[in-house]
Amino acid sequence: MAVTFRIYRFNPEKDAHPHYREYEVEPQSGWTVLDALRHIKDTQDGTLAFRRSCRHGICGSCGMTINGVNRLACETQIATLRSRKIEVEPLRSFPVVRDLVTDMTPFYDRYETIQPFLITTKSPPTDRERLQSPEDRRKLDGAYECILCGCCTSSCPSFWADKEFLGPAALLKAYRFVFDTRDEDMGARLRIVNDKHGLWRCHTIFNCVEACPKDLNPTWGIAELKRGVIRQRV
Amino acid sequence: MIEHTHDVVIVGAGIAGLYTALETSGAADTAVISKIFPTRSHSTAAQGGTNAALGNMEEDSWEWHFYDTVKGSDYLGDQDAIEILVREAIPTIIELEHMGVPFSRTPEGKIMQRPFGGHFSQFGKGPVRRSCMAADRTGHAVLHCQYEQCVKRGVRFYNEFFVMHLVVEDNVCRGVIAIDIATGELHLVRARAVMFATGGYASVWQINTNCLANTGDGLSLVLRAGLPLEDMEFVQFHPTGLYPSGILVTEGARGEGGQLKNDKGERFMEKYAAAKMELAPRDIVSRAEQTEINEGLGIHGEARVYLDLTHLGKDVIMEKLPQVHELGIKFAGIDCTKEPLSIQPAAHYSMGGIPANSDTQVLADEKNTPVVGFYASGECACISLHGANRLGCNSTLGCAVFGRRGGKSIVRDLPNIRHSGVSEEHLKAAEAEIEKVRSGSGGETIAGLREEMRRVMSQGCHIFRTREGLEKAVASIRELQKRYDNLQIEDKSRGFNTQILEALELGHQLDFIEPIAVGGLAREECRGAHWRIDFAKRDDEKWLKHTLAWKTADGIRLDYKPVSITRFQPEERKY
């Protein structure tokens, strides 16, 4: 059963404007959108550019907008899209480098802004790991699994409207550290995110929750941070 | 050509490369070059855990870990290096936790550990919980933490730069040449010390667990620089690649109690390793599965067997194997809490690679002469930690311990290494190589050659090998290398030209598969993952030695060097 892939193309060396090209593919059983893209590049159009690596949803390279929804191409089974026409575009609102490749610098910059690393002042025990109870460790579930794919931030209308908004991924990463009982500078991080371009730009639209291919819930993490800011404790 | 100068240049940003960067960046001008954004490195896909004899859940000892690793290597591992691996495992894992890795925790708050294949207590008795885990996302947890630490320390990255030429002259390494993928421009990066941490190569087989970026580039560049590769014929086939994709299902699933079954519902490991069953080392389990499949006992006669987790219960699976559960549903449509997963052996890991000593200095010959200013760690290196077969969770460990150790080693050596000149011929060679590929308008396609290469390797260089099969493979590889000169390149652009990158990667793969096949053809014995069924057993008298392979104008030249045996004399290897 043939499926038409309508793919966003833009090569700044050749094209004045972005345009779309259509490719016919006969997907084999179990094929993902990434399988189809690789097949198109291998057999129909070697100029198609896209990022990919692990093929199983852990590296975060292949975030794209597929039939209007942000997904990982490698995890999107063609059959589940239930459509003979599949439109593939680069993640919204990041500058396009070429075809489906976006410039992720704005995304990585925001991640770096929230100080994404454990901050400690007390020396750890010399011969042993720091202890952390399983209950405390569970607080990191739902945040540490983030693969930095960009699907959430790119789907967020607040991010589209406010170029300084930290965005769901960076804020969920801030949650990961604020709520890690081993971290010792909750105050510093809460000060960074307690900003009109930080936590308060989240208007609980929930596009990020829909978009996350790892089923994470940035809106929840942001709400926990807001509560932390208001109470000045977590 | 644009030029940069640094003291230390690290190629590859996985667990090994980033640990080196964390060690050197405080002491020297360091730059990390990676062809993909660092957290996309394949270390992130490691699932089960990283070994250290912490003894958090039951008694354990680095000496038992030492014995297990040596025996697991089928006695080809260098014991002086392995002793360092298992002893330094303990402070290294503790340091990782101090950096912030979100390990799973025991009720007492210590790092949780799980059993894994090949790891036993008291020199080979019962399974022991040695693998330090973060659910089944340990690689992801460790790599992201290391990258976060690099951000904290302001480590300099050249991201999406593809290193395609290594500059070594008169046994001194002087730097690398890389393509800035975004623009297509070539950059010369001079360094006093270069560390290769470029990862594995298993994507040259049809069914493999590897990511598409794992094209073993560092291995080819070393061959082209006139240096040897070591033990290339030893490649690990992981027993549990998901069927049909080959996507990794962690050995931790068997560690938690998962069982392997054939079409008759039998736990067939009883026939092959009656004592250790599913927790025997990977080479033994993969051979067992392949034998069952070859004898028609695969599920419905197909090339797959069952990994049954249903008896573990949903709670255990969701807490300890959540990613396995997710992968089963997304890539095979199977909920492993309700039905068994179909799995098959999948090419996974390279035991061989760039020869290096336990200070990670790259070695130029069978006398172990170090190359000045050149280092290697992680999967691309052969130190040799894993000999003829690697135990699970020892790779992420090797990356961490020797990435760290390599960094310390570089800092120690730097005062005695100065910058050396780079002759024009290297710049010209790099430019010529790219132009040759770009201008390609022959009859061969990248995909066509790549599929052919995978077919050749899967037929001639697989789990069970014969002289005839390997001879055919060697001849086919040489054919493919010639056909590579006739590539068709459609994309002539400069910016983000992934077709040229794929062509260069294919060229690298066609280089290093030759020593795999030639080394395998020469080694007439069964040891670890290299199984010559025309020889039926291990031959310590003739073959207890490491293979070294050079690429010359007349083909691959082989030589050998001794194995370091310090504590454990080779014995019969039974499980």
Domain closes at, from A59, A78, A102: A102
Distance in angstroms (rounded) separating the CA atoms of residues A128 and B333: 42
8 Å CB contact between A63 and B40: no
Locus of tokens 């360094």: B191
Q: Nearest-CA neighbor of B156 among B186, B196, B185, B189? A: B189
DSSP code string of B389-458: SPPTTHHHHHHHHHHHHHHHHHHHHGGG-------HHHHHHHHHHHHHHHT-BSSB-HHHHHHHHHHHHH
Q: What domains are there in chain B, each with its CATH number?
A: 48-137+384-422 (3.50.50.60), 241-345 (3.90.700.10), 424-536 (1.20.58.100)
Residue in B144, B211, B491 closest to A46 by CB:
B491
Retrieve residue B476's tokens. 């086919």
Rounded to 10 deg, the angle between the B467-483 and B446-460 helix axes is 170
**Computed over its alpha carbons, how large is the radius of gyration of chain A?**
20
**Helix B394-413 with B138-152: angle, nearest 10 deg:** 20
The 3-state DSSP class for residue B365 equals coil
Same domain for A218 and A110: yes
CA A130 to chain centre: 30
Show the CA angle centred on residue B411, arms to residues B408 and B415, nearest 5°.
Answer: 150
Least Cα distance to B57 among B98, B116, B124, B108 occurs for B108
Going by C-alpha positions, the residue among B154, B178, B155 that lies closest to residue B166 is B178
Here the ipTM equals: 0.98
Pairing of strands A3-9, A19-25: antiparallel
Are B105 and A132 within 8 A, CB to CB?
Answer: yes
CB contact under 8 A, A97 and B496: yes
Whats the size of chain A, residue-wise? 234
Of A43, A49, A75, the CB nearest to B496: A49
* E-assigned strand segments in B170-254: 172-180, 185-190, 193-196, 229-230, 235-242
* Single pTM value for the model: 0.97
Residues of chain B with pLDDT under 50: none
Angle of CA points A125, A172, A225, to nearest 5°: 85
Task: Give the dihedral of Cα atoms B161, B245, B306, B135; nearest 10 deg.
Answer: 30
| Residue from A40, A53, A121 to probe the interface with B (highest B Cβ count within 10 Å) | A53
Number of domains observed in the structure of chain A? 2
Q: Where are the beta strands (DSSP E) in B216-336?
A: 229-230, 235-242, 259-261, 305-308
Q: Is A115 on the interface with B (CB under 8 A)?
A: yes
pLDDT per residue as tens digits for the range A103-133: 999 999 999 999 999 999 999 999 999 999 9
CA distance linking residue B70 with residue B60, whole number of Å? 16
Instruction: Output B7 or A234, whichever has higher pLDDT.
Output: B7
The radius of gyration of chain B from alpha carbons, rounded to an integer in Å, stands at: 22
Q: Which of A75, A118, A140 sits opposite B99 (nearest CB)?
A: A118
Hey, how many other C-beta atoms are within 10 angstroms of the C-beta on B428? Answer: 11
Residue A234 has pLDDT above 90, yes or no: no
Q: Å from B289 to nearest chain A CA?
A: 24
Neighbour order of strands in the sheet with B341-350? B235-242, B341-350, B305-308, B259-261
Instruction: Please answer yes or no on whether A147 and B106 come within 8 Å at the CB atom.
Output: no
Q: Which of A43, A56, A103, A216 to mutate to probe the B interface, most B CBs <10 Å?
A: A56
Domain boundary among A75, A102, A129: A102
Alpha-carbon torsion A211, A213, A217, A218, what sign? negative
Q: Do A162 and A125 lie in a common domain?
A: yes
Put simply, the chain B residues between 121 and 160 with a CB less than 8 A from any chain A CB are 134, 137, 140-141, 144-145, 148-149, 151-152
Contacts of A50 in chain B (CB under 8 A): 498
Residues of B in contact with A59 (CB under 8 A): 36, 39-42, 44-45, 211
Lateral strand order in the sheet of B229-230 = B229-230, B545-552, B555-562
- Is B424 an interface residue toward A (CB < 8 Å)? no
**CA–CA dist A42, A40 (Å, integer):** 5
Burial string for B489-503 (b: 16+ CB within 10 Å, else e) reads bebebbbbbbbbbbb
Residues of B in contact with A47 (CB under 8 A): 490-491, 493, 499
Q: Which of A102, A134, A164 is the last residue in one of the domains?
A: A102
CB contact under 8 A, B151 and A47: no
pLDDT at site B536: 83
Q: Is the domain of A225 the same as that of A112?
A: yes
B323 contacts A58? CB cut-off 8 A: yes
> Any idea what the CATH number is for the domain that residue A171 is in?
1.10.1060.10
Which residues have CB under 8 Å from B492's CB, separation 6+? B438
Q: And the tokens for B440?
A: 């390609």
A40 inside 8 A of chain B by CB: no
HEC sequence for B402-413: HHHHHHHHHHHH
* CA–CA dist A206, A198 (Å, integer): 16
Contacts of B349 (CB under 8 A, 6+ apart): B200, B202, B235, B236, B238, B379, B390, B395
Amino acid at B265: G
Distance between CA B403 and CA B409 in Å, rounded?
10
Residues A17 and A130 placed together within one structural domain of the fold: no
Residues of chain B neighbouring A112 (CB-CB closer than 8 A): 151
A54 touches B: beta carbon within 8 Å: yes
Contact (CB, 8 A) for B348 and B202: yes
Per-chain mean pLDDT for chain A: 96
pLDDT score of B568 = 97
Would the CB atoms of B497 and A49 count as touching at under 8 Å?
Answer: yes
* Subunit contact A11:B40, Cβ cutoff 8 A: no
Task: For A94-158, give the DSSP string.
Answer: SPEEETTEE--HHHHHHHHHT--S----SPPPSSSPPP--HHHHHTTTTTTT-----HHHHH-HH
User: The domain spanning residue A82 has which CATH number?
Assistant: 3.10.20.30
Question: In whole angstroms, how far apart are CA B45 and each of B40, B49, B59, B72?
Answer: 9, 11, 29, 23
Do A28 and A64 share a domain, yes or no? yes
**How do residues A54-68 score in pLDDT, each as one tens digit?**
999 999 999 999 999
Mean pLDDT of A207-221: 97
Decide if B490 and A61 are in contact by the 8 Å CB cutoff. Answer: no
Evaluate if residue A28 carries a pLDDT over 80. yes
Q: How far apart are CA B425 and CA B463, in angstroms?
A: 41
The reply to whether residue A59 touches residue B44, judged by beta carbons under 8 angstroms, is yes
C-alpha neighbours within 13 Å on the C-beta side of residue B569: 0
Looking at CA atoms only, how far is residue B13 from chain A in angstroms? 13
Q: Please judge whether B36 and A53 are an interchain contact, meaning their C-beta atoms are less than 8 angstroms apart.
A: yes
Catalytic residue among B114, B282, B438, B465: B282
User: Is it true that the peptide bond before B358 is cis, omega within 30 degrees of 0?
Assistant: no
**Residue A173 and residue A148 share a domain:** yes
Q: Is the pLDDT of residue A1 over 90?
A: no
Q: Which two tokens stand for residue B289?
A: 């599965």
Helix/strand/coil for B153: coil
Tell me the two tokens of residue A79: 């059959």
Same domain? A137 vs A221: yes
What gap in Å lies between CA B528 and CA B202, rounded to an integer?
17
pLDDT by residue (tens digit) across A166-177?
999 999 999 999
| Among chain A residues, CA nearest to B154 | A112
Active site (annotated) includes residue B137: no
Flag whether residue A132 sits within 8 Å of chain B, measured between CB atoms: yes
- Site from A54, A100, A102, A104 to mutate, B interface, most B CB atoms within 10 angstroms: A54
Residue of B22, B34, B39, B454 best to disrupt the A interface, most CBs of A under 10 A: B39
Instruction: Tell me which chain B residue has its CA closest to the CA of residue A184.
Output: B100
Q: What residues make up the domain containing A94? A: 3-102
- B51-85: pLDDT as tens digits: 999 999 999 999 999 999 999 999 999 999 999 99
With an 8 Å Cβ cutoff, are A55 and B447 in contact? no
Q: Are B237 and B346 in contact (CB under 8 A)?
A: yes
A41 and A123 in a single domain? The answer is no
Cross-chain residue pair A12–B110, CB shorter than 8 Å: no
Shared domain for A30 and A60, answered yes or no, is: yes
Same domain flag for A91 and A135: no
| Residue numbers in A near B181 (CB within 8 A) | none
Domain identity same for A121 and A80: no
pLDDT, residue A232, reads 85
Dist CA B567 CA B551 (whole Å)? 34
- Tell me how close the Cα of B499 comes to any Cα of chain A, in angstroms: 6
Nearest-angstrom CA–CA distance, B357 and B354: 10
B491 CB neighbours in chain A (<8 A) are 46-47
Residue of chain B whose Cα is closest to the Cα of A40: B447
A66 lies in the same domain as A115: no
pLDDT band at A233; cut points 50, 70, 90: confident
d(CA B393, CA B93): 12
B208 touches chain A (CB under 8 A): no
- What number of CA atoms fall less than 13 Å from residue A220's CA on the CB side? 13
